[in-house]
Structure 1
Amino acid sequence: MDDTQSAALAEAPPALAAGGSYRWYVLSVMMLVYAINIADRYVVSTVLESIRLELHLSDSGVAFLTGVALALFYVTVSLPVAALADRSSRRNIVAVSLMLWSAMTVFTGLARNFWQLMASRIGVGVGESGATPASTALVSDYFRPLERPMAMTVWSLGSPLGAWIGADIAGRVADAHGWRAAFLTLGAPGLVMGLLVLLTVREPRRAAMDAPKAEPEKAIPLADAFRLLWRNRPAMHLMMAGAITALWGWGLVFWANAYFIRAFGMTAGQTGAALGPAYLVAGAGATLLTSRICAMKAMQPPRRMLWMLAGVTALATLPSIGMLLAPTKEIAIAMAWAFIPAIYFYVGPSIGLLQNAVPTAMRSQATAITVLMGNITNLAIAPLLVGRLSDIIGGRAGASATSLRWSMMVLALTGFWAAWHYWAAAKDFGKRE
């Protein structure tokens, strides 16, 4: 970033005409939308073992049904919707997406066989594909460039909140009323929230906070966006770091409940009660700490923030390995609490830095591509890889705690790979400062 750009960013208007407090309302609403997104997506991991047993599936079979089916259609739809968000109302896209995936979450709870369940999960993927890119681009036009890493970190509080709902609340409902009731309970509130977005959120002017009297840039075609990102080394390393972090952390979380049920004889409700607070307390704590760190003047150079992300990810990889080697559930839960914060720590800074590293006219598309990469790794590659390896290791004996443990170990080691990409991104961002 050169001196002229830095000066322009520093001179950006301090608040929108809508008022300084209103932008925090919009940020809070988008955070809650994100929470519903995560809850509706990851409730399936809480009841994964129940679905597998009822439908008589292998580990790779249940992985395809619950994760890969959603990811394939998420990938197909997300980029066109993101391109639309860079040209039309992001508020409307968020609201419609939210109501669509919430309805499909309800239908998941009503499914009675393999094909109905797969169709419902595909619907969830189609609906969720539009929310995150449009939400982050909308929030970016309510905050100045140097505030965006902090704002995106506050937005990312929706992730631990949603994960807690999808684990603890959904687990308790599943123990009391069955796994289908968990989907019904989590899907209905999103329909109401979608109406709230439509009625109370105003669409901001594009590029309103980037510089005095800045005009929105001409929309960039998707093919050109790919080419620009490919040549942008800092952005590419940042996007790869996020994708591999999702493969590592969220891939492990996807299978964690099933592993605890098999290895330690716990129920869905018990695993949710053990891991849910880790998402909410440790995850939210890490997110709030990140927000505070991002607001520090000393952390404004991008390379410092990226060094921090590299170090935290590398260190957190160790307890993720320890969770799988722990001899007791108490130690395994403690190891989970130690590594889970890291899967939230990176989200806000990564998206905030990416928003500043790309042209205004392709922010939604850049975020969509990043989210797409993360969802391919953690919803398609991670579940299917672990499931297939577990089937191979289990052999004729079938799925077991041992087969799942050693297949998950492959994912645990990828945390070091993610840390390397953050370090490489820091080097490239440093060349641009």
Structure 2
Amino acid sequence: MTNKTRPTLSPARWYVVTILALVYALNIADRYVVSTVLEPIRKEFGLSDTGVGWLTGVSLAIFYIFAGLPIARYADRANRRNIVAVALITWSGMTALLGMTQNFWQFLLARIGVGIGEAGCTPPSTSIIADNFPRGRRAYALTLWALGLPLGAWLGSSVAGQIVDHFHSWRAAFVALGVPGVVFGLVILLTVREPIRGRFELVTETSEPAATFSETCRFLWSQRSAWHINAAGAVICLWGWGMLFWMQTYFERAYGLSTSDAGARLGTIYFWAGTLATIATGALLALPQMQDAKRIAWFLAGIVILSTIPSFIIFWTHSLTVATAMLWLVIPCVYLYMGPTMALLLNFLPPTMRAQGMAISLLAANVCNLIIAPTAVGWISDTLAARLGNNAESLRYALLALSLTGFWAGYHYLTSVRTYDSDDVRLGHPAKIAEPSTLKQA
């Protein structure tokens, strides 16, 4: 497809971004609510920190991973809009079902269902957005889509905490957050259109069959820039989302806050710090200078490295005021990286591999934040608790160790820049290629 025949951008693309951002918000809320009610669940089912990590994190991640890859493979050749809608209805229904469970095994099975449903959210959603925007604008569009993160965190923390407080039951939060998603899935089927695959690429690839999983893996490995971008995103998930998985429980134990009080405090920070940081990042990425992928990577590296220091202080201090202040500094980084990182990765993948490439990225990310972080932190906490005689202090030391992994993520962002030019040329996109004038105003 030549520059002359490239399609212009319809205003309807922003409706698609908005709808998919709301889907992402429900995805995060239905996942986040577990962290909000982690302590009540642990006490009712009589679990250790390791046990609750397996029940709420690992059970979701394992089936998310196994379902995510075939769903992504299907999304690279089928109607992605339908996949997103069905996935939303599935995980929302299973989230509501979590509120009706009465024992460990019932909760485990419903949580597995949530994982299978959520596997159909991000890969097809980001692929849809990539086919609604040219390469230079994808970071901006995906950053706006990522506003679903702070919105979902607020719903899963503050709103869920208030629901628990009002109904005096952690089960009510799952029902209240799950039911609306079933209805919203029908709205997607009726109002969102499936875009033409690869329509903004320099070379028409829509007639090519979807790549196989092995082909996608080999391509990702050969694209060293994409490999390091993927690694950076995975380690940020280990660092940031791993900390946030335990943050509610930590604040309850260390400072004696109730579920609703801790949820309100954290949810307010998640929403305002996350939203403002995401909007500011979107405005920054809208600048012509920031359409250079290298500058985006340098920006992300600097932010995550600097944010690692206050993340350590959160758990080092014994002051609730200081910990809260440091959280205001860390949360923006945990949220703002998502859209730009996904855009960088998508820009180094051909259209026939995008959903699968994103699924592989999410596989690594979810292993880090839903398997390693919950179980490793839980295991360290349980091990130290026997010596310290205090599960608040043991959790503190476990999270101190986790907080330092932010430096690791920064390293991968910096390293990825080294091969941007050569990897870009392999895709048929010379490093300095201008977008046509019809697309500059997107």
Q: Scaled by the length of structure 2, what TM-score is found?
A: 0.93
1:299 correspondence with 2:290:
yes
How far off is 1:247 after superposition?
0.2
State the shift of 1:127 in Å: 0.3
Aligned to 2:438: none
Distance 1:396 1:45, change over 3 A: same
What displacement does 1:398 show? 6.1
Greater mean deviation of Cα atoms: 327-336 or 156-165: 327-336
TM alignment of 1:418-433, pairs within 5 A: 418-432=409-423, 433=431
- How far did residue 427 of structure 1 move? 2.1
Shift of 1:9: 7.2
Corresponding residue of 1:28: 18
The equivalent residue for 1:236 is 227
Are 1:40 and 2:30 an aligned pair?
yes
Work out the CA distance in 1 between the residues paired with 2:77 and 2:204. Answer: 20
Contact 2:242 2:369 in 1 (8 A): yes
Change (3 A) 1:244 1:274: same
Shift in alpha-carbon separation, 1:149–1:12, aligned structure 2, 3 A: farther
CA deviation map 1:26-77 (0-9, x unaligned): 1110000000000001110011011111111100000000001000100111
Which of 352, 369, 372 is the aligned partner of 1:361?
A: 352
Q: Which moved more, 1:306-315 or 1:365-374?
A: 365-374
For structure 1, which segment, 72-81 or 169-178, has the greater mean C-alpha deviation from structure 2 after superposition?
169-178
Query: 2:315 corresponds to which letter in structure 1?
Result: L
Aligned to 1:113: 103
> In 2 relative to 1, CA 240–11 (structure 1 residues): closer, same or farther, beyond 3 Å?
farther
Q: Which amino acid in 2 is paired with 1:337?
A: W
1:320 matched residue in structure 2: 311
CA distance in 1, matches of 2:176, 2:389: 32
**1:145-160 matches, cutoff 5 A:** 145-160=135-150
CA-CA distance at 1:345 after TM superposition = 1.4
**Matching residue of 1:100:** 90
Residue 87 of structure 2 contacts residue 118 of structure 2 at CA under 8 Å; is this kept in 1?
Answer: yes
Counterparts of 1:302 and 1:12, CA distance in 2: 22
Write the distance in 1 (CA, Å) between the matches of 2:4 and 2:305: 33
Q: Note closer, same or farther for the CA distance 1:212–1:393 as it changes in structure 2 (3 Å cut).
A: closer
Q: Work out which of the residue numbers 128, 131, 140 in structure 2 matches 1:138.
A: 128
The residue that corresponds to 1:14 in the other structure is 8
Deviations 1:234-291 (A, max 9, x none): 0000000000000000000000000000000001111111111111111011111111
Corresponding residue of 1:373: 364
More displaced stretch, 313-322 vs 392-401: 392-401
Change (3 A) 1:135 1:413: same
SS where residue 327 of structure 1 aligns? coil
Contact 1:9 1:211 in 2 (8 A): yes
What is the aligned counterpart of 1:74 among 42, 60, 64? Answer: 64
- Mark the CA change 1:9 to 1:139 in structure 2 (over 3 Å): closer, same or farther: farther
> Does the aligned pair in 2 maintain the 1:14–1:144 contact within 8 Å?
no
Check conservation: 1:13, 1:211, Cα contact below 8 A.
Answer: no
Match in the other structure for 2:81: 91
C-alpha distance in 2 between matches for 1:190 and 1:12: 36
Match 1:58 to one of 44, 48, 55: 48
Distance 1:107 1:412 in 2: 34
Deviation for aligned residue 1:80: 0.4
Q: Tell me, in whole angstroms, the C-alpha distance in 2 between the residues paired with 1:179 and 1:190.
A: 19
How many residue pairs get matched? 423
Q: Does 1:163 align with 2:157?
A: no
Distance 1:148 1:9, change over 3 A: farther
Q: Does the 8 Å CA contact 2:274/2:335 hold for their aligned counterparts?
A: yes
Q: Is the CA contact (8 Å cut-off) linking 1:302 and 1:430 kept in structure 2?
A: no
State the percentage of identical aligned residues: 47
Cα gap change, 1:310/1:99 in structure 2, threshold over 3 Å: closer, same or farther? same
Question: 2: distance between equivalents of 1:313 and 1:304?
Answer: 14
Does structure 1 residue 123 correspond to structure 2 residue 118? no
Tell me, yes or no, if the aligned pair for 2:77 and 2:209 is still in contact at 8 Å: no
Distance 1:239 1:251 in 2: 17
* Alignment of 1:203 onto 2:203: no
What TM-score does the superposition give when structure 1 sets the normalisation length? 0.95
Q: Indicate conservation of the 8 Å contact 2:137/2:291, yes or no.
A: no
- Secondary structure of 1:202's match? coil
Q: What is the CA–CA distance in structure 2 between the aligned matches of 1:398 and 1:235, rounded to whole Å?
A: 45
Give the letter aligned to residue 23 of structure 1. R
Per-residue CA deviations over 1:267-321 (Å, capped at 9, x if unaligned) read 1111111111111111011111111111211122211110110000000001111
- Contact kept in structure 2, 1:9 and 1:145, CA below 8 Å: no
Distance 2:275 2:401 in 1: 27
Gaps of 5+ in 2: 424-430, 432-442
What is the root-mean-square deviation in Å for CA atoms of aligned residues?
1.6
From 172, 175, 181, the equivalent of 2:172 is 181
Structure 2 equivalent of residue 391 of structure 1: 382
How much has 1:387 moved relative to structure 2?
0.2
